Structure 1
Amino acid sequence: MPMSLDEVLTHDIDTLHLLYQWEVAEPEQEQYTCRPVRPVADCSTFLRMLRQRLENRSLRIFVARDWPTGNMLGKIVVFDYNPRNKSAEFGYYLPPEHRGKGLGQNMVATFLSYMFSDPVWSLNKLYATTASGNQPSVRLLQHLGFHLDGVMREHYWFPSGFQDQWHFLLLKREWRI
């Protein structure tokens, strides 16, 4: 499926509202983060906090859109930017109806090409974390050339038990720009 990747700006109200809807609708939010999962704030609070983080550039959000229709397919969030080390962490999300179709791989590959050529942040490396049992995410990162650089043992707790957190990293020189 042809797609575009667009950076979300503070005035993109419709996009910000859809990001809020995705946040409240995700039935398995705890499966995708090791951070505490808290109830989603009301819409106005969520949007205000998101706009603040976008304005101070502590967060950048990119959305993948179906090229012909403009419908949003997924998002990538970049955070923990370190200008000294020229690094940042990112996470990606596809709503349930878009999973398992190869969209995530296309979306993340487009994002990597963009971020490694971005003159504003001038990144040398990007990294992502995932639970060891999240095989779709592990396969995606490995396919794109990421290296498993670290393990935090038993870092995620799920009702089925603990899982390790795997840290994947990709250097700019390793990316096929």
Structure 2
Amino acid sequence: MTPRPLCNSRLKNCHIGPNLHLHPVSMAWGYFLESKQEPQFAGKCYEGGIITSMHRVTECTIIETSALGSAAFTAMVPWESGHDMNERMRRYARTAHTFALVHDRGAGSVDGEGHVSFSLSRGDTDELREGLRRALRILVAADATEVGTHRSDGLRLRCKGVRDKDLEAFFDEDPQNTPNRRSP
């Protein structure tokens, strides 16, 4: 909403309003079983200090961990059923969240009335997709039992015995090639 007060204050600058960058984000999650053998992974996602870890995967994309409280978690989880929500909340403490953030090259604008116009460029969409793929790969490599995104259909992948081709099919959303895939 910054452009409106700037325009109302009679500032004259051609950069007020255009060149809106939103740095789009796409989130992934991984559920981890309680580890009896590895005490460094004991505990819950909300215990201990806040972990902020960031990894640049391309010139424009980073993957970062996020501290997602239970209220924010429930707001992001796609609704499938009461039973599913109960199960997800029971598993909340052992669910890790990562996100891919893109330094967008495309730009939108905000007019003086606060109307936003923004759409992702093709390059930004590709960056976001690749960042999400890498975030999911990290969770699988870390031994998540199940991974997914916050897609509205609740699509997720069980990781036990998952092979590279299964993971690629999950990324490409090809239901014929993903035997461990679970959808509502």
| TM-score normalized with structure 1 length | 0.30
Which of 1 and 2 has greater Rg?
Answer: 2
Return the structure number with greater strand share.
1
Tell me the TM-score normalised to structure 2 length. Answer: 0.29
